[in-house]
Amino acid sequence: MAVFRKDRIMSILERDGSFTTKYRLMFGDTPVYVSMKATLLDDEDGRYLIIGTNNIDAQMKREEEYRQKVAEARNRARNDFLANMSHDIRTPMNAIVGYTNIARSHPEDPELIRDSLEKIGSSSHFLLSLINDVLDMSKIESGKMQLNVGECDLSAVFRRIEDITSLQAKNKSLRISYDYSGVSHFHVLADELRIEQILINIISNAIKYTPEGKTAEIIAGEESLPEKDAGRYRFIVRDTGSGISEEYLPHIFESFTRELNTTINRIQGTGLGLAITAKVVELMGGHISVKSKPEEGSEFTVTVDLKFAGEDFPDEAGGKTASEPADVSADLSGRRILLVEDNDINAEIAIMVLSQYGLETERASDGQAGVEMVLARGDGYYDAVLMDLQMPVMNGYEAAGAIREAGTSYCKDLPIIAMSANTYDEDVRACLAAGMNAHLAKPFQPETLMRVLGEYIKR
């Protein structure tokens, strides 16, 4: 009734010359959809209203079916995702729980305990990389992944990649070679961690899907571009492994797809690595492609245009260049750390690790207690603070801010390192904005903790 009000229709007709609407007629219980168009016609005989109607029943039904299909597909994708996640989390969890029980019930057998711990370690590692991948994927899908572009030293990236992947290859008796001779500018502007992630993903796959005794090679090269201050970098990862079937190849960059599942090929994976890799390459404005023949091998190529950075990086933190690895062997024994951590288990782990390296630790169980301890003990007492972020009473950001604002130069310079399970880029930025020196993600490796402490504690 409201739509067909005469004055409303007349005003639309005066303005637009025509009026269209859709409506539903009920024939008993059966609806029929109709569209109607009315056009105003002025001629010498007077004014006419020409009205046409059209049965759009079939079209409406098609649209409704389409909407339903889209909703169903979305539902199915979500269910598949949850089923996949549940399976992929349970598999390593099963190993962790299982081997913990085995180790616990054989206290007399150190060999068995060592073997169980080894397996618990590798399953935890897998679980962590799965969680990181899922977080990356959800960031990508919500459009929130951002690149942290800065000065990047490709030679340091290559060195780290080689360290990690040559060990993986050695464990599998696989011959692997690295050739960077085609690169002439190693200092570029790029997101160093993401470049490393892309290459590690592809190279690890080449190793994973290539049987013992075969080969893998990595070739990096650079071509010039019309712009003088940038180059087109090409990374080729070639293996003589299992190859990829023609049917699967078009789906290789889709998330959660794998050619064969773990039960069949016994190779652990989630099908997320290449999906993330392709998205990150896309975010960098680059291109990824793959060629492969079953039983012969695969070749992945990533190309990306990168701007050159000056050869000399400005000094950062105490005169170190960005590419120089921190001194892991720094002796920190006897140094005193304040650990601000509300969770007892996490605190116990950190304290044990620190004491293994000869450091002395005092603990505060929330931010406020932490601030009070720093102020009460006085200048020079602690060498560094390890700060959890989410805590009751006062969180880590506020506590770091309060220490910085305490006024003394000791409080301004005291190294405060966030140690947190909040690991998104924005969490890291918030830590730095709150006056902390660095951010360390939980779970952490003991060596990483020591390296970060070594970097910030004054000798």
Q: Contact at 8 Å (CB) between 220 and 183?
A: yes
Cβ proximity to ligand ADP, 270 vs 437, nearer residue = 270
Q: How far is the CB of 148 from ligand ADP (least distance, A)?
A: 23
Rounded to an integer, what distance in angstroms lies between the CA atom of residue 73 and that of residue 76?
5
Are 88 and 256 spatial neighbours (Cβ–Cβ below 8 Å)?
A: no
C-alpha 102: how far from its chain's center? 34
Size, binding site for ligand ADP by CB under 6 A: 19
Smallest distance, Å, CB 240 to ligand ADP? 10
Minimal CA–CA distance to 305: which of 234, 224, 232? 232
Per CB under 6 A, which region of 5-13, 228-236, 251-259, 416-424 contacts ligand ADP? 251-259
Q: Is 395 in the site for ligand ADP (CB under 6 A)?
A: no
Instruction: Go through 309-347 and write b for each residue having 16 or more CB atoms within 10 A of its CB, e for each that does not.
Output: beeebeeeeeeeebbeeeeeeeebeebbbbbbbbeeebb
Beta strands in 157-229 (DSSP E): 175-182, 187-190, 215-224
Please tell me the total number of residues recorded for the chain in this structure: 459
Query: Which listed range, 167-175, 186-194, 266-274, 281-289, lies at the site for ligand ADP (CB under 6 A)?
Result: 266-274
Distance of closest approach, residue 243 Cβ to ligand ADP, in angstroms: 6
The residue whose Cβ lies closest to ligand ADP is 269
Does 298 sit near ligand ADP (CB under 6 A)? Answer: yes
Site for ligand ADP in 188-227 (CB under 6 A): 205-206, 209
The identity of residue 245, as a single letter, is S
Q: Residue 197 or residue 242: which is nearer to ligand ADP going by CB?
A: 242
> Least distance in Å: CB of 405 to ligand ADP?
47
252 binds ligand ADP (CB under 6 A): yes
Q: Rule CB under 6 A: is residue 280 a binding residue for ligand ADP?
A: no
Q: From the list 191, 259, 341, 342, which residue makes contact with ligand ADP (rule: CB under 6 A)? A: 259
Using CB under 6 A as the binding rule, the residues of this chain from 229 to 248 that contact ligand ADP are 239, 241-244
Q: Identity (one letter) of the amino acid at 334?
A: G
Tell me the C-alpha distance between 266 and 209, whole Å. Answer: 11
Q: Which is nearer to ligand ADP, 206 or 452 (CB)?
A: 206
Contact 257, 225 (CB under 8 A): no
* Residues contributing to the site for ligand ADP (CB under 6 A): 205-206, 209, 239, 241-244, 252, 258-259, 269-275, 298
